[in-house]
Structure 1
Amino acid sequence: MTFSGDRYSLVIDYLGGVVKENGWSLPSPWRDAHVAVVVPTYNEAGNLGELTERIFALGLPNLRLVIVDDDSPDGTGALADDLAKRFNGDHPDRMVVLHRTVKEGIGRAHIAGMQEALGRGDTYVVQMDGDLSHRPEYIPHLLGTILAAEAGVVIGSRYVVGGSLSTDWGWHRRLLSRFAGLYVNTILNLSIRDPTGGFKIWQRDVLLGIDLDAIRSDGYSFQVEMNHRCKRLGHSIVEMPIHFEERNTGSSKISFAVQLESMITPFALRFGRPPH
Structure 2
Amino acid sequence: METQKTAVKKYSCKICDASFKNQTTLVGHMKKHTESKNLYSCQICDFSGSSNSKLVQHLRTHTGDKPHPCNVCDASFAQKSALVSHLRTHSGERPYSCTECGYAFTQKSALVSHRRTHTGERPFSCQVCHAAFSRRDTLAAHVRTHTGEKPFACDVCGVAFSEKSSVFKHMQVHSGTKPHVCTVCDSSFSQRNRLVAHMRLHTQEKPYACQVCALTFSRADILVAHSRTHSGERPYSCHVCNLSFSQKSTSVKHMRTHTGIKPFNCEVCGSSFTQKSGFVKHLQKHALEN
Normalising to structure 2: TM-score of the pair?
A: 0.22
Normalising to structure 1: TM-score of the pair?
A: 0.23
**Higher RCO structure, 1 or 2 (CA under 8 Å, sep 6+):** 1
Question: Which of the pair has more CA radius of gyration?
Answer: 2
